[in-house]
């Protein structure tokens, strides 16, 4: 009887807790929907207020001398006013879709209360799939920051349910091309000369179309083959609005995602997407990396044609090669067919990818933060070209020093020092304890063991999934609530690269290419510490 009563009390307490949790989730979704609607309403009110502003400016226009043309303030307003109909239409359609997605999750929370656990899980999986398809269609339709963030999220299975990753992966090559006449108009306006004066030849069909800009192949009058990257018209005016809505959307999903510091992730993503609008910054970083890798036999970054590059146009030398995923897929097929040399080629190519990023991070302090297949080219000789430094992260000296300290602790398998370094970098767990970080250090070292204990080789996908599930249970108990900004994009990069290794399974020797880079950087760090101590 006592046992039965205790069991009954336990079930009652559990049920009360579940009910309390359900009410909390419902409140969360209602706040999310309210936030989305407020964003739409605020912009609608902004449009309404344009009427008063129009009247005022028209009054100014009447007093403007005819021969001098419209006053600068009036011209600026006229240009801005011309963009508002499209902007309002974009806000309305995107806001409605995002609100529907958020509302669907809110309704699921309520419906799940009346379902079995298995039934709720099935309906949640179905909801993830339908919502992911909605987000995919929205990104295709509107482009801009929606497309860019969708592409970025597609390589983050640690952040999103599998259905989102699968659907959004289709966005990697999905950016619609800008009509050629608009490309010509943008080029001539930005560079101040007719197209024929700028280039000896210019291919109308783009080589690549991305979310922020698109690339055309051209020939300069001196015979050089170049890649011309032209920013999409009006993209700047759209990105801010897109990011505001997407920020609310990501926060809406956060309740059902792994517990992470989403505020930092969203803030860093916003900064990186905004930085991509400045081709002047991209030109500077591209040239810096081009000079750095100039003497390398197998790793290249294109040189910048500075006299034709501006804030909205970037011209670089044209680099030969194909998407790395296409080359690796062919080599993997050849390996399966019995080609003995294909495995060595896969290993060589992926070792160059790993070396390229290790050198960027540890030696230059600048790294390309968007390593999707279109930004990594492989030529017929197995040489690697890294493209597109619009999405690039610069690391200050202090950040690089802390990263090196963490690497040193990892190499030594010193979990105590790993925890101390993580604390210094800004990691914080929910328990806000060093013991919590030390637990993460132990769990991370376990996950880094991608080599089998017996016989060598990389772990199977099944082993990786099992290990990640165990790590996920640890994260649930004491989640990280604050992340250092410098590691948000760095984690994304090396998470993507580890996915390449697991999928294409090179020899373990592929990782050996980074050891000289790591040890040289550690030696320099230790030498600096000794000099400072002296």
- Count CA atoms within 13 Å of residue 221 on its CB side: 6
pLDDT at 274 over 80: no
Range of the domain at 98: 13-56+76-173+238-254
Sheet of 376-378, strand order: 299-300, 384-386, 376-378, 322-323
Kindly state whether residues 163 and 223 are assigned to the same domain: no
Kindly state whether residues 21 and 133 are assigned to the same domain: yes
Q: Is residue 39 part of a domain?
A: yes
Kindly state whether residues 163 and 213 are assigned to the same domain: no
- Which residue matches tokens 């591209």? 286
pLDDT at 106 over 80: no
At 418-459, the pLDDT tens digits run 889 888 888 888 888 888 888 877 777 776 654 444 445 555
Q: Is residue 467 part of a domain?
A: yes
Q: Is residue 67 part of a domain?
A: no
Lowest mean pLDDT among 17-31, 140-154, 163-177, 194-208: 17-31
Helix spans in 505-534 (H): 515-533
Kindly state whether residues 117 and 197 are assigned to the same domain: no
pLDDT above 70 covers what percent of the chain? 64
CA distance 227 to 215: 6
Kindly state whether residues 26 and 127 are assigned to the same domain: yes
pLDDT at 37 over 90: no
Lowest mean pLDDT among 39-53, 147-161, 379-393: 39-53
Kindly state whether residues 31 and 130 are assigned to the same domain: yes
Tell me if 233 sits within 8 A of 169, measured CB to CB. Answer: no
Kindly state whether residues 94 and 118 are assigned to the same domain: yes
Number of domains in the chain: 3
At 61-105, the pLDDT tens digits run 445 444 444 444 445 444 544 444 555 556 666 666 766 776 777
- Please give the residue that has the higher pLDDT: either 300 or 36: 300
pTM above threshold 0.85: no
- The set of catalytic residues is 370
Q: Give Cβ neighbours of residue 436 (< 8 Å, ≥ 6 apart).
A: 429, 430, 478
Would you place residue 220 in the very low, low, confident or very high pLDDT band (cuts 50, 70, 90)?
very high
Q: Which of 368, 226, 220 is nearest to 293 (CA)?
A: 368
Kindly state whether residues 145 and 283 are assigned to the same domain: no
Lowest mean pLDDT among 43-57, 239-253, 368-382, 417-431: 43-57
Kindly state whether residues 138 and 182 are assigned to the same domain: no
pLDDT score recorded for residue 20: 56
pLDDT score recorded for residue 531: 76
Tell me if 378 sits within 8 A of 345, measured CB to CB. Answer: no
Token digits of residue 326:
């296409």
pLDDT above 90 covers what percent of the chain? 26
CATH code, domain carrying 199: 3.30.200.20
Kindly state whether residues 470 and 484 are assigned to the same domain: yes
- Please give the residue that has the higher pLDDT: either 510 or 254: 510
Q: How far is CA 446 from CA 156, 222, 442, 467, in A?
A: 20, 56, 6, 8
Residue where a domain stops, chosen among 269, 293, 318: 318
- Which residue matches tokens 């109909």? 85
Q: Is residue 286 part of a domain?
A: yes
Q: How far is CA 15 from CA 1, 10, 21, 190, 388, in A?
A: 21, 9, 10, 64, 53
Kindly state whether residues 416 and 303 are assigned to the same domain: no
Kindly state whether residues 21 and 157 are assigned to the same domain: yes
């Amino acid at each position: 009887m006592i046992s039965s009563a205790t069991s009954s009390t336990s079930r009652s307490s559990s049920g009360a807790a579940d009910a309390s949790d359900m009410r909390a989730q419902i409140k969360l979704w209602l706040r999310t929907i309210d936030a989305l609607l407020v964003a739409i309403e605020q912009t609608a009110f902004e449009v309404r207020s344009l009427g008063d502003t129009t009247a005022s400016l028209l009054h100014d226009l009447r007093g403007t001398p005819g021969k001098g043309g419209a006053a600068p303030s009036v011209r600026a307003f006229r240009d801005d006013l011309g963009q508002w109909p499209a902007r309002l239409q974009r806000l309305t359609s995107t806001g409605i879709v995002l609100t529907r997605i958020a509302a669907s999750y809110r309704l699921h929370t309520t419906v799940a209360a009346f379902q079995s656990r298995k039934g709720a899980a099935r309906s949640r999986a179905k909801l993830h799939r339908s919502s992911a398809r909605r987000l995919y269609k929205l990104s295709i339709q509107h482009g801009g920051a929606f497309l860019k963030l969708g592409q970025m999220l597609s390589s983050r299975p640690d952040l999103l349910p599998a259905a989102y990753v699968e659907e959004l992966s289709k966005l990697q090559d999905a950016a619609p091309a800008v009509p050629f006449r608009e490309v010509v108009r943008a080029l001539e306006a930005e560079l101040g000369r007719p197209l024929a004066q700028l280039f000896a030849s210019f291919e109308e069909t783009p080589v690549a179309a991305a979310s922020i800009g698109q690339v055309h192949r051209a020939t300069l009058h001196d015979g050089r083959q170049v890649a011309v990257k032209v920013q999409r018209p009006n993209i700047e005016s759209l990105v801010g609005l897109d990011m505001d809505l997407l920020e609310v959307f990501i926060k809406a999903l956060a309740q059902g995602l792994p517990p992470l510091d989403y505020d930092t992730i969203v803030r860093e993503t916003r900064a990186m997407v905004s930085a991509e609008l400045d081709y002047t910054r991209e030109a500077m970083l591209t040239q810096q990396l081009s000079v750095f890798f100039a003497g390398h036999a197998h790793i290249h970054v294109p040189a910048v044609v500075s006299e034709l590059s501006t804030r909205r146009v970037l011209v670089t030398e044209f680099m030969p090669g194909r998407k790395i995923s296409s080359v690796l897929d062919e080599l993997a097929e050849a390996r399966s067919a019995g080609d003995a040399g294909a495995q060595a080629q896969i290993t060589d190519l992926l070792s160059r990818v790993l070396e390229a990023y290790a050198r960027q991070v540890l030696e230059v302090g600048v790294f390309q933060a968007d390593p999707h297949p279109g930004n990594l080219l492989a030529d017929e000789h197995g040489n690697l070209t890294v493209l597109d430094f619009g999405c690039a992260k610069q690391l200050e000296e202090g950040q690089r020093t802390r990263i090196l300290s963490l690497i040193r602790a990892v190499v030594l398998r010193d979990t105590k020092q790993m925890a101390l370094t993580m604390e210094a970098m800004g990691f914080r767990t929910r328990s806000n304890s060093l013991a919590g970080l030390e637990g993460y250090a132990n769990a991370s070292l376990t996950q880094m063991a991608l080599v089998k204990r017996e016989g060598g080789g990389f772990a199977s996908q099944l082993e990786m999934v099992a290990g990640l599930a165990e790590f996920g249970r640890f994260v649930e108990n004491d989640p990280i609530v604050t992340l250092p900004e410098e590691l948000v994009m760095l984690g994304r990069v090396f998470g993507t690269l580890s996915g390449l290794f697991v999928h294409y399974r090179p020899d373990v020797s592929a990782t050996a290419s980074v050891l000289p880079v790591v040890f040289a950087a550690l030696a320099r760090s230790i030498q600096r510490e000794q000099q400072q101590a002296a």
